[in-house]
Amino acid sequence: MPQALYSNSISGFLSDPTDKILGILTTRNEFALEQTQRDSWIYEVELLKKILNSFAGQIYFEFSIPRMGQRIDIVLLIGPIIFVIEFKVGERKYNSSDLDQVFDYALDLNNFHETSHNKFISPILVATDARNIYSVISLSSNKDYLINPIKCNAVSLQEVLKSVVSFTDGTNIDAQIWENGKYKPTPTIIEAAKALYKNHSVEEISRSDASAINLKETSSTISRIINYSKQNSKKSICFVTGVPGSGKTLVGLNIATKHYDKNSNMYSVFLSGNGPLVKILREALTRDKVSREKALGNKIKKYEAFSEVKMFVQNVHNFRDDCLVNYDYPPIEHVALFDEAQRAWNKKQTISFMRRKRKLSNFSQSEPEFLVSCLDRHKDWAVIVCLVGGGQEIHTGEAGISEWVNSIRTKFNHWDIYISSRLSDEEYNAKEILKKIESKNNVLYETSLHLSVSMRSFRAEHVSSLVKHILDFDVKESQRILKLINKQYPIVITRDVKKAKNWLKIQARGSERYGLIVSSQAERLKPHAIFVKSEINPIHWFLNGKDDTRSSYYLEDVATEFHIQGLELDWVCVTWDADFRYTDVGWDHWSFIGSKWKKIRKPDRKIYLKNAYRVLLTRARQGMVIVVPFGDKDDPTRNPKYYDPTFNYLRSIGFECID
């Protein structure tokens, strides 16, 4: 675990002069030291010296949390307890955002720090000048030993520490063992992007346990291919596969941050056709950069930070259009990483777009073919990395991964092809095209190009597998997996949206994010105040806080598969409409047009709808509630027979019903 700026035994801390402690904190601090911070440290040191005389243990000042990019003011190890203390010096009230902050720190240790598991963790908010509040000490849930956040002022802090010690029992924590515990975080994609952009390594912000495929290994394989291609003037394409949430995007961002120097011919770019993802990542990185520069004492305007960030994460369509304008020249990037590459457009969709939007009547390529041709303009070397999700195509005209392979086979056969050993699996829909290139000697299979374990949910790795078996009508396997994960990753069902919202609020702790998500075809949820056609701003929905009505926390605006693909929340409510109905012979696919449901018959549209529910059901990191409404016998568009079979099917799998 990363170290604090200052650490010592409590007895050692009590004997160290304040000036010595302050000098250590100042020397090791990487940010601009403002007078307010210096004054706060002096206050904290002198207060703790007064109240810790009767305690034994270990103390840490400014304890680093790499995944969050923040530091805990004070960590105390006393007896069997880890105290996580956030000071608000001079504050006269207890702000809910400050309470969430200290709870988040405690949750991070509880979830991701190996030697903090199954230990009492007590988060305390100290608003030094606030009125005293009597706090009842209690565990936050029956899932762990995390104590509910406690509010106190400077005067009552000592008494609070004593009360928590009296509340708990167990073996004293060994400070050395605790410090040496491994930190195994599972960041959201937003957290990961911010950490990588700040030059953290992928090892620092990802799990490293044996049950997860090592992201470092996959990144190293791609780096090896890039270096080999550069040194030998080769052009290469890599196909990286992985289950939902396994870290494909994280791998792409990791490679892009390693080669971000525009003056180097190793310059890389991370490209995505997922508009909401690009907007959210850019905004999150911009806000974070402004915040960090402010902490360093530098003034930077938001548009200045954004101008740098936007070159790191680009919309693939902007990249494509730039290559259209500069048709005779290669892009400045030698390495292009295409996130969700299976979503690139097929030939028909691309030609139609170019004719309608770009007035190009003679354009005759699919999007993959054109994008490969852009990198092929380099006279020396180039590398394309395709990050591929199985069963993730949700838009009309998305080509799937076979179009990339076919473009290389027919137009760019001088390119080397590095293929994940799992690209032939059914969900990637590439088996037939792979047969056509199996005899070529420039095709290499790499097992390390597949990420087989979902890291989105740190509580259960098999959620994506469970969802696959549910959608494939494999009841026995669904039941088996559900029994494996249900204690760690709760999934419940209900017929009542209000009960589902209450369940979400009860489950979430600190600033854990929750929200409502639905299929883009779910048009008959209006009676439940769910308006799928009411457009949301994904930046507000994903990034803004609990006090913003536009955020996911308010449970008013809903996101669809188009908004949430590639992203995640801690807890979700999936509300299941009559567009995707269970029957004894398979799923029925429907679209609401005008005033009635019409059956979907085109095979590709059926696949898109099934994949939409696959996306929705794999967005939660910690658990979810699924709502299948009762319907209304007096409303022919919401006939109960459209909903009851789906609910009964889910109940037969064994999901707990909270009605």
| Tens-place pLDDT, residues 287-323 | 988 888 887 778 889 988 898 888 778 999 899 999 9
State mean pLDDT over 469-484.
Answer: 96
Contacts of 430 (CB under 8 A, 6+ apart): 400, 401, 402, 405, 423, 424
Which neighbouring-strand residues pair with 592? 597
- CATH class held by domain 207-274+314-451: alpha beta
H or E stretch at 38:
helix 35-51
Find the length of the chain.
659
What pLDDT, in 10s, does the model give residues 263-274? 666 778 899 988
CB atoms within 10 A of CB 158: 18
State mean pLDDT over 362-379.
Answer: 95
User: The tokens of 229 are what?
Assistant: 């291609």
- Strand order of the sheet with strand 514-518? 558-559, 514-518, 569-575, 620-627, 491-494, 656-657
Residue 16, phi then psi, degrees to nearest 5: -70, 135
What pLDDT, in 10s, does the model give residues 425-461? 887 888 899 999 988 899 999 999 998 776 666 666 7
What pLDDT, in 10s, does the model give residues 333-361? 999 999 989 888 899 999 999 999 899 99
Radius of gyration of the chain (CA): 27
* pLDDT tier, 212 (very low <50, low <70, confident <90, very high otherwise): very low
Closest by CA position to 538, among listed 515, 519, 522, 521 = 515
The rounded distance, in Å, linking the Cα atoms of 504 and 547 is: 17
The rounded distance, in Å, linking the Cα atoms of 97 and 49 is: 28
Closest by CA position to 354, among listed 331, 321, 328 = 321
Contact assessment for residue 583 and residue 525, using Cβ atoms and an 8 Å cutoff: no
Whole-prediction pTM: 0.83
The rounded distance, in Å, linking the Cα atoms of 20 and 28 is: 12
CB burial class (10 A; 0-12, 13-18, 19+) of residue 80? middle
Closest by CA position to 170, among listed 82, 110, 52 = 82
The rounded distance, in Å, linking the Cα atoms of 15 and 360 is: 77
State mean pLDDT over 28-53.
Answer: 90
Per-domain residue ranges of the chain? 4-179, 207-274+314-451, 463-657
Contact assessment for residue 173 and residue 180, using Cβ atoms and an 8 Å cutoff: no
What pLDDT, in 10s, does the model give residues 497-546? 999 999 999 999 999 999 999 999 999 999 999 999 999 999 999 999 99
CB atoms within 10 A of CB 314: 19
